[in-house]
Chain A
């Protein structure tokens, strides 16, 4: 699995064979200092906000009891189905100077000068955080769900208060999940282009595109991309380090014994209010905005062609979900069995694709595939085998989303102690059979999380789909791109809503399965 990723990475690094000194010195002087600073600030800001949101919401819904908890358990995942740039566009539309909020302020108070400018660092962080916190939420909830109440029990037996138990037992025990979620969010933030473009906030990714499309220098663009890779390596190492000294094993079955904490009086309403606020901002508001645009054009746009987009997106996401989750499972299991430095490196490399800007990754994969294809053609195999089929597309997806599928699985696998392996071997269950019979039931939660994340991410994916789709094959994300890049947001709203609706289905299934226990 690391091989295709390695190909793409080598493509990036090979750009150093033809350095474009002129473009690079310009970039180094006028562009990189600011964009690197912006990127660091953005990654740290979004990382901090999503971790805070994700962990606290996961804690509330997994461990506490308050009004409407059951609703929020799954409702809080929904923003994940809203692409970041759609979130940004809706937020900006609502809060900018010409938007309804500031207009209302001006009409009522005569001025909206006190209102903070949405086109700011705070605005970008807010948009990206609202779109990305569900990654952390989903992963951490999985941890609290399976061990939170048990840990609290342990805390109680040690005479700790709930608060002390949270900080001293539950939170440290959930660290692999928190770190994993934050890692995913940070990688996604690094590769984001659409959201930051709406705020005109320049990051390394925008510098890459500017160099490629504006300075017509792909080599220089790839060299900027390798700066981005340094970020990825640093973040990944930090995540490793944060848990290197610890071992996470679970001693007993994950079935919760005690009931949830019933919050008292004002705390109940506070919990409700927090959930409601996040849910309204991250989901209700953008969806209302989309509905407002979509409804007038609804009849004209609900054509058979539209249903073809829906079918295309759904089937593609399903296939990719099964394939990538399967591959990630194999990889996580293999890496666990052969716990060698080599295996670790392979795993690290194959999960790096998530942080590369999608377009760079798409081109980085397409070039070697086309070369192989051409070589096969030269050998007398007249029809291109790889291009124009979905093989390339799925290969590229697995490179891009391996991290998304692998991270939740890996955290869960950490819990399976070596003694479990030994026990199962002594009973004559080993290899694939051990994975299927012993490990799989134990990582079910992680696997489901992985599948939902991949499904929704593939639905939203654009650059790879654009470049490798067969002729005439379209998805909802492609449709959104076609319309919104021409500024036709009103008509892009319907396919965006469809993505949200289809994304609801797996989220709903996931929660029903995980909450049933």
Chain B
């Protein structure tokens, strides 16, 4: 069809005109769903649907917002992208931003967003009551919504858990050539090292990271799942991962066991840094949320944030990703609960923004790729 068009006489004119027309057409009718917006006008006091910018992925937030709309009648629209891009976008849009809320999956980026002045204070008694202080901003610009733990995973065939104690211990001589780590470019490791800096000081933290690097069995892996596969294949014996990746692997293995009698998963989680020292504990980070300064719908936005920390939302928000709810009182997904309980590191996560760049530089210096 296209070639035929090009062969015809006024080919260029047709091409130019049609592309312009198509461009204009698409401009006039962006395929959003105007009908659903009209419904929301009827259902709620205020005119607009809430608009959420989120770096948490669509399939994790869609069911949560669907439940919110079902319970409150408030429609939610969302755009997903990387957090850094969304923050630049909000800054560029300025007062005209269509967005009311930003959700990201790391305390560091939430701190960065707050520092860039795009949030307004939450001023929410519900948030203060429900969310432990170290998991929300001390200036009240954002709050955590779900908790992920980064912990040690080991081969049950080759490691006796009694040999394990702490993150820093993985740099010890008994782990020479037995450690696997994920790339330092992933924010999960950046915030883990940020915690080490807070706990141990920068000099000590750097020597710990260097000792990890010296103990690496293979170059850093590109993700947590690859890391666990490397342990299963015998390339290394211990590593550091987020618990929900372990959860997914467990689930996959169980499916296969039912089908073709695979062996049990020869991996287990270990909770490090559980000693009595009150400044220590398992490294945690949050997915979290803030209300935008230029939200035109701040009251509704606050309603969504408060709903997100409520029991019913929490079970779903954390559950879809096998994470931990932000509040202990919420019932945990049984699979997640089966991994046992642990003491969290009490480092206030609002420090992450300051410490993460330091952590990135430290890892560069230590040669951790």
Interface residue B10 (Cβ < 8 Å from any Cβ of A): yes
Report the minimum CB–CB distance from B359 to chain A (whole Å). 8
CA–CA, A214 to B34, complex, Å? Answer: 38
B32 contacts the other chain (Cβ, under 8 Å)? yes
Q: Is B68 an interface position by the 8 A CB rule?
A: no
Q: How far is the CB of A495 from chain B (nearest CB, A)?
A: 12
Contact in complex: B11, A391 (CB < 8 Å): no
- A487 pairs with B245, CB closer than 8 A: yes
Pair B32/A472 contact, Cβ less than 8 Å: yes
**Inter-subunit contact B84/A213 (CB<8 Å):** yes
Residues of A within 8 A of B218 (CB): 97
- Whether the pair A214, B94 counts as a contact (CB closer than 8 A) is no
Main secondary structure of the interface of B (DSSP, over half): helix
Chain A residues in 8 Å Cβ range of B59 = 482-483, 486
- B164 CB to nearest chain A CB (Å): 23
Tell me, in angstroms, the Cα distance from A31 to B85 when the chains sit together: 22
* B 211-227 contacts with A by CB, 8 A: 218-226
When the two chains form their complex, are residues B88 and A119 in contact, meaning their CB atoms are under 8 A apart? no
Taking CB atoms, residues of chain B closer than 8 Å to A216 are 84, 108, 112, 353, 356-357
Which residues of B sit under 8 angstroms from A432, Cβ to Cβ?
12-13
Distance between Cα atoms of A97 and B230 in the complex (Å): 8
* Chain B interface category by residue count: 35 or more
B65 → chain A, closest Cβ, in Å? 12
Is there a chain B Cβ closer than 8 Å to A218's Cβ?
A: yes
State whether the Cβ of A485 lies closer than 8 Å to any Cβ in chain B: yes
Q: How far is the CB of B244 from chain A (nearest CB, A)?
A: 10
- In the complex, what residue of chain B is closest to A217 when comparing beta carbons? B357
Knowing A322-B18, A374-B94, A470-B30, say if A214 contacts B185 (CB, 8 Å).
yes
Known: A390-B30, A466-B80, A469-B79. A323 touches B85 (CB 8 A): no
> Is there contact, CB below 8 Å, between A440 and B365?
no
What distance in Å separates the Cβ of B321 from its nearest Cβ neighbour in chain A?
A: 8
Assess whether A448 is interfacial by the CB under 8 Å rule. Answer: yes
Tell me if A243 counts as interface (CB < 8 A to partner B).
Answer: no
Shortest distance between the CB of B232 and any CB in chain A (Å): 7
Binds A, one of B21-29, B155-163, B165-173: B21-29
For B108, the chain A residues whose CB sits under 8 A away are: 216
- A18 near B: Cβ within 8 Å? no
With an 8 A cutoff between CB atoms, is B44 at the interface? no
Given A26-B364, A215-B360, A466-B85, decide whether A210 and B245 contact each other with a Cβ distance below 8 A. no
- Cα A199 to Cα B22 with chains together (Å): 40
Q: Which residues of A contact B185 (CB under 8 A)?
A: 197, 200, 206, 209-210, 214
Chain A min CB distance to B285 (Å): 14
- Give bound CA distance, A516 to B242, whole Å: 56
Question: CB within 8 A of A329: which of B12, B96, B248, B360?
Answer: B12
A476 at the interface (CB under 8 A from B): no
Which of B2, B27, B109, B219 has the most A CB atoms < 10 Å from its CB?
A: B2
| Residues on A with beta carbons closer than 8 Å to the beta carbon of B187 | 213-214
Segment of A149-157, A182-190, A381-389 in the binding face: A381-389
Instruction: Return 23 A-B CB contacts under 8 Å, by A number.
Output: A23-B357, A200-B219, A200-B220, A210-B360, A213-B84, A214-B190, A319-B19, A319-B23, A322-B18, A326-B19, A359-B85, A370-B89, A374-B94, A377-B96, A388-B98, A389-B28, A389-B30, A436-B9, A444-B6, A467-B81, A471-B32, A482-B57, A509-B3
| Chain B positions near chain A (C-beta within 8 angstroms) | 2-3, 6-7, 9-13, 15-16, 18-20, 22-23, 26-28, 30-33, 51, 57-60, 77-85, 88-89, 92-96, 98, 108-109, 112, 183, 185, 187, 190, 218-226, 229-230, 232-233, 235, 245, 248, 353, 356-357, 360-361, 364-365, 369
Q: A213-B83, A466-B80, A469-B79 given; name 6 further pairs at CB < 8 Å.
A: A97-B230, A213-B82, A216-B112, A217-B357, A390-B27, A470-B31
Q: What are the nearest 3 A-B pairs in CB distance? A: A470-B30, A370-B92, A323-B19
